[in-house]
Amino acid sequence: MAHKRLSRTQFLERLLAIMDRKHHWAWPIIMGPGISKAQLKVHYQQEFLVYVRDFPVLLARVHGQNPPPDVRRMLAENIYEEDTGGLSFGRSHPELFNEMMCGLGFDSDVFRRAKLLPASARYRAWLEKVTASRDWVVGAAALAVFVEGSIKDRQEIQTPSKPKTQAEIEAYIDVHPLIRHHGIDRQHMDLIRAHQKVEAGHRQDAYTMVVNYAESRSQQNAVLSCVNKGLSLWMAYRDSVAKACKLKKA
């Protein structure tokens, strides 16, 4: 007998329960004062190759599966910002990433020449597979919920953030670890500014498109399985980066 479809509230709770676990022990170290620029280079090389460089392309693959018009609009706005910066600074997010890395002293060749670690390659291969799924809801769950989401999602869903003023964005930049611990010039931080400028309501959009359109229990199960798999691969990926950076778990 087929299992009864979860209510939207139940389904959302199952998703958030997975995202509650999206935290890696090495993250506070990587964002802390003791990390070296050489270690940061390893971390950011893997981030760039795994998803930063091609994120708008991966999103476009989900859009190309022809979801309903309201979902296409949400995805299209995300793709537009990621690939052009049209809602923020007029430069793609991969370009802004490279600008931030320039502030750290790394030119773009440092990232183009980098190689994926084996666990990074497995995580990237999963992203390729799920965004090619015939079921756009699964691809949307992988990218919009999991990749763009964090352990902070529950708080963001319960108490949505409001659009930040320019002063609030600059105050956020002031305390960013790359400025506090590594002395990056503020002019290189437009990627962080862009995220802060467009993020209000973004998490709600992500969960809305997945929760509202997973129409059967089997589809809900496919989404939950997808996000669980993503978490497992992401943790292994982050473990491998920590090992390559020679970080030690306390």
Predicted confidence (pLDDT) at residue 52 exceeds the cutoff of 50? yes
Q: How confident is the model at residue 241 (pLDDT cuts 50, 70, 90)?
A: very high
How far apart (Å, rounded) are the C-alpha atoms in residues 107 and 59? Answer: 26
Residues 6+ apart with CB under 8 A from 14: 6, 220, 224
Give residue-wise pLDDT tens across range 117-169: 999 999 999 999 999 988 999 999 999 999 999 999 999 999 888 889 999 99
> Can you give the residue ranges of every domain in the chain?
8-244
Predicted confidence (pLDDT) at residue 225 exceeds the cutoff of 50? yes
Q: How confident is the model at residue 45 (pLDDT cuts 50, 70, 90)?
A: very high
Give residue-wise pLDDT tens across range 56-73: 999 999 999 999 999 999
199 burial level (CB within 10 Å; 0-12, 13-18, 19+)? middle
Give residue-wise pLDDT tens across range 189-207: 999 999 998 876 788 999 9
CATH class for domain 8-244? mainly alpha
The answer to whether 98 and 53 have CB atoms below 8 angstroms apart is: no
- Region 81-101: mean pLDDT is 95
How far apart (Å, rounded) are the C-alpha atoms in residues 75 and 79? Answer: 6
**How confident is the prediction for the chain on average, in pLDDT?**
94
The answer to whether 139 and 214 have CB atoms below 8 angstroms apart is: no
